[in-house]
């Protein structure tokens, strides 16, 4: 009974098309093991070895052209790694997350944001681990040794850099070795991509009624971020930086002490807002166009999530002037401290991470064929 | 049919069993006759099948109930390639065996492991 259960579990590790065949074969072998003078344990060990070594890229097992599986695994691995890197960089740039101040920053809000920061950071670590597993899987089934070594280098390089940065006591040169391995992986990647036989690309299309809702939702998200972000830069953040003072007084003091010009600042922020809003509206218009069938919901999501992340990242530059003016006028730090300023970086990181993951999770080229009888 | 990337002694053992038997052989009997662990034989059978050297099929209807046994046989091309591979292996192994016997008397010759499985069964 236990052997049968373990055989079923091992069969679950096989590609779906190979699963039924090998499970029946193993169960028959286990049932007749004594007849052959062997033990059921032998069958179990054999099944375990086969589940590890089976050629998963074989068309009969994968239901796809050879080479499709390692490419898909590698693409997903790199997408997850990119998502992890985006979040980790975001966390680094915001010093582990902005801690809000001001009247709106109640203890509950601060605690909620700290929890969000904790969760997002762990999400990045989880994504990095899953990315390494995907890349290792791709390395295992890759058709050439160059591809396998390149993929393993893509895991090893960042791992060495991270280890050197996070584990105390490790030599500093480990980081340099890690960067060298990353460069080697990049060079190997160019060689592998340049020398690979292209797999026929499938024309993915979507009808208008599937495109437009996604585009509307995405454009609305971009515009919402832009509007909220602009108001925050001009109103909520100055009020949070100088609590107890009304906005008109804040602006007047900034003008007198630092030569602050509200018009110039509003124009700069307006250019930022207009740029990203227009970009979102152009995507929306393109999605609504009858001949834009190639803009599938996934592709629209990638672009629009990218726009959300981009708008939030470049908000830093749009708000740099007013932030420095507040700092110089009131002898505070230049960093944003409003609740919105604390929330938006997480939104941006998750949006860019989502775009990366959506990019990696392209639909299969062809549906799996039914399992042979 | 594609050439095998590597021909290990275990692969040669499996090929010998399939060559000796001639007909389709149950996977468990291949394990028994080679004397190799299932963890070695199962992947070899899978590799031989994927490379087109061997083919497998479910056993014909029997009185036995339950899951069907999988039978393995060499393809016609695979049979020729297997005979050639075994012969090449034995040619290479023979001088090594003689050298081993000459330098280390009393120790079992490594090639003895590769004697036809039928002789041991």
pLDDT at B100: 59
- CA distances to A233, A317, A332, A346 from A94, in Å: 16, 14, 17, 10
A198 sits in the region (left: phi over 0; alpha: psi -120 to 50; else beta) called: beta
Chain B residues with CB-CB distance to A25 below 8 A: 27, 67, 69-70
User: Nearest Cα to A346, choosing from A302, A372, A309, A317?
Assistant: A309
**What ipTM was predicted for this assembly?**
0.79
Residue that finishes a domain, picked among A160, A195, A230: A195
Tell me the residue range of the domain where A14 lies.
Answer: 2-54
* Min distance A22 CA to chain B CA atoms (Å): 9
Query: Considering the domain boundaries, does residue A368 fall inside one?
Result: no
A235 and A339 inside one domain: yes
Tell me the residue range of the domain where B76 lies.
Answer: 9-58+69-120
A233 and A142 inside one domain: no
A14 and A81 inside one domain: no
Chain A residues with CB-CB distance to B43 below 8 A: 49-50, 53-54
- CA distances to A8, A52, A54, A87, A284 from A11, in Å: 5, 11, 11, 36, 46
- CA distances to A96, A103, A289 from A354, in Å: 20, 32, 25
pLDDT at A204: 84
Are B39 and A38 an interchain contact pair (Cβ–Cβ within 8 Å)? no
Query: Considering the domain boundaries, does residue A59 fall inside one?
Result: no
- Give the whole-angstrom CA distance, residue A371 versus residue A39: 30
Q: Pick the residue from chain A with its C-alpha nearest to B25.
A: A36
Are B37 and A38 an interchain contact pair (Cβ–Cβ within 8 Å)? no
> In total, how many domains does chain A have?
3
Q: What is the pLDDT of residues A179-199, one digit of tens each?
A: 999 999 999 888 888 776 666
Q: Are strands B54-58 and B25-26 parallel, antiparallel or unpaired?
A: unpaired
Query: Considering the domain boundaries, does residue A33 fall inside one?
Result: yes
- CA distances to A197, A305, A309 from B70, in Å: 35, 51, 55
Are A46 and B39 an interchain contact pair (Cβ–Cβ within 8 Å)? yes
Q: What is the pLDDT of residues B53-67, one digit of tens each?
A: 999 999 987 778 889
Please determine, for residue B81, whether its predicted confidence score (pLDDT) is greater than 60.
Answer: yes
A356 and A212 inside one domain: yes
Query: Considering the domain boundaries, does residue B1 fall inside one?
Result: no
For chain B, what percent of residues have pLDDT higher than 70? Answer: 77
Are B42 and A38 an interchain contact pair (Cβ–Cβ within 8 Å)? no
Chain B residues with CB-CB distance to A54 below 8 A: 43, 46
HSE at residue A354, side-chain half, CA atoms within 13 A, is 21
A31 and A85 inside one domain: no
A9 and A106 inside one domain: no
Q: What is the pLDDT of residues A325-351, one digit of tens each?
A: 999 999 888 788 899 999 999 999 999
Query: Considering the domain boundaries, does residue A365 fall inside one?
Result: no
pLDDT at B112: 39
CATH number for the domain that contains residue B86: 1.10.10.10
A217 and A341 inside one domain: yes
pLDDT category at A118 given cuts 50, 70, 90 is: very high
Handedness of CA B104, B107, B112, B114 (dihedral sign): negative
Query: Considering the domain boundaries, does residue A373 fall inside one?
Result: no
Query: Considering the domain boundaries, does residue B4 fall inside one?
Result: no
Chain B residues with CB-CB distance to A55 below 8 A: 46-47, 50
Restricting to A residues 21-50, those with a Cβ less than 8 Å away from any Cβ of B are: 21, 24-25, 27-29, 31-33, 35-38, 42-43, 45-50
> Angle A255-A257-A259 (CA atoms, 0-180°, nearest 5)?
45
Nearest CB to A45 within list B39, B67, B68: B39
Answer whether A59 touches B (CB < 8 Å).
no
Q: Pick the residue from chain A with its C-alpha nearest to B71.
A: A25
* Residue pairs spanning A and B at CB distance below 8 A: 71
Query: Considering the domain boundaries, does residue B22 fall inside one?
Result: yes
Q: Pick the residue from chain B with its C-alpha nearest to A60.
A: B50
Please determine, for residue B20, whether its predicted confidence score (pLDDT) is greater than 60.
Answer: yes
Q: Pick the residue from chain B with its C-alpha nearest to A50.
A: B43
A150 and A230 inside one domain: no
A235 and A328 inside one domain: yes
Q: What is the mean pLDDT of chain A?
A: 91
pLDDT at B95: 67
Query: Considering the domain boundaries, does residue B74 fall inside one?
Result: yes
The mean pLDDT of A31-57, rounded to a whole number, is 92
Query: Considering the domain boundaries, does residue A160 fall inside one?
Result: yes
HSE at residue B87, side-chain half, CA atoms within 13 A, is 6
A196 sits in the region (left: phi over 0; alpha: psi -120 to 50; else beta) called: beta
Residue that finishes a domain, picked among A164, A195, A226: A195
pLDDT at B103: 57
A219 and A335 inside one domain: yes
Please determine, for residue A305, whether its predicted confidence score (pLDDT) is greater than 90.
Answer: yes
In DSSP terms, A232 is beta-bridged to none
pLDDT at A368: 57
Please determine, for residue B72, whether its predicted confidence score (pLDDT) is greater than 60.
Answer: yes
Residue that finishes a domain, picked among A195, A226, A241: A195
Are A50 and B43 an interchain contact pair (Cβ–Cβ within 8 Å)? yes
Are B38 and A45 an interchain contact pair (Cβ–Cβ within 8 Å)? yes
How many Å is the Cα radius of gyration of chain A? Answer: 27
A229 and A341 inside one domain: yes
Are B43 and A24 an interchain contact pair (Cβ–Cβ within 8 Å)? no
A227 and A339 inside one domain: yes
Query: Considering the domain boundaries, does residue B107 fall inside one?
Result: yes
Q: What is the pLDDT of residues A120-160, one digit of tens each?
A: 999 999 999 999 999 999 998 888 889 999 999 999 999 99
> In total, how many domains does chain B have?
1
* Min distance A11 CA to chain B CA atoms (Å): 14
């Amino acid at each position: 009974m236990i052997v049968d259960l373990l055989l079923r579990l091992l069969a679950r590790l096989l590609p779906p098309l190979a699963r039924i065949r090998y499970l029946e074969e193993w169960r028959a072998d286990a049932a007749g093991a004594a007849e052959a003078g062997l033990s059921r344990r032998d069958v179990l060990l054999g099944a375990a070895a086969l589940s590890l070594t089976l050629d998963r890229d074989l068309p009969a097992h994968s239901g796809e052209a050879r080479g499709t599986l390692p490419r898909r695994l590698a693409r997903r691995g790199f997408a997850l790694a990119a998502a992890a890197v985006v979040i980790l960089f975001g966390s680094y740039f915001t010093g582990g997350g902005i801690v809000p101040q001001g009247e709106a920053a109640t203890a509950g809000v601060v605690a909620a944001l700290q929890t969000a920061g904790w969760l997002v950071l762990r999400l990045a670590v989880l994504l990095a681990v899953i990315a390494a597993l995907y890349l290792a899987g791709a390395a295992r089934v890759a058709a050439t040794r160059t591809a396998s070594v390149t993929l393993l280098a893509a895991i090893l390089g960042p791992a060495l850099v991270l280890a050197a940065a996070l584990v105390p006591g490790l030599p500093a040169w480990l980081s340099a070795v890690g960067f060298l391995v990353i460069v080697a992986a990049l060079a190997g990647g160019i060689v592998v991509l340049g020398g690979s036989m292209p797999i026929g690309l499938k024309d993915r299309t979507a009808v208008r009624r599937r495109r437009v809702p996604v585009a509307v939702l995405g454009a609305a998200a971009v515009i919402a971020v832009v509007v909220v972000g602009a108001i925050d830069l001009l109103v909520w953040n100055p009020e949070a930086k100088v609590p107890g003072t009304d906005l008109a007084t804040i602006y007047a003091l900034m003008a007198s002490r630092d030569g602050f010009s509200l018009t110039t600042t509003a124009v700069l922020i307006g250019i930022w807002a207009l740029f990203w809003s227009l970009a979102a509206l152009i995507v929306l218009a393109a999605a609504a166009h009858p001949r834009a069938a190639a803009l599938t919901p996934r592709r629209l999501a990638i672009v629009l999530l990218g726009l959300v992340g981009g708008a939030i990242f470049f908000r830093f530059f749009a708000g740099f002037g007013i932030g420095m003016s507040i700092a110089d006028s009131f002898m505070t730090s230049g960093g944003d401290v409003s609740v919105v300023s604390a929330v938006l970086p997480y939104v941006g990181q998750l949006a860019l991470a989502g775009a990366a993951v959506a990019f990696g999770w392209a639909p299969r080229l062809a549906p799996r064929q039914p399992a042979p009888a | 049919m594609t050439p095998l990337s590597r021909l290990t002694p275990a692969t040669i053992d499996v090929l010998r069993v399939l060559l000796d038997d001639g007909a389709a052989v149950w996977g468990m009997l291949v394990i028994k006759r080679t004397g190799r662990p299932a963890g070695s034989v199962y992947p070899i059978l899978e590799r031989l099948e994927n490379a087109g050297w061997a083919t497998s099929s479910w056993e014909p209807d029997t009185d036995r109930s339950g899951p069907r046994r999988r039978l393995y046989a060499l393809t016609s091309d695979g049979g020729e390639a297997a005979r050639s591979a075994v012969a090449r292996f034995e040619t290479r192994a023979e001088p090594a065996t003689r050298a081993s016997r000459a330098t280390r008397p009393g120790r079992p010759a490594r090639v003895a492991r590769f004697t036809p499985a039928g002789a041991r069964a």
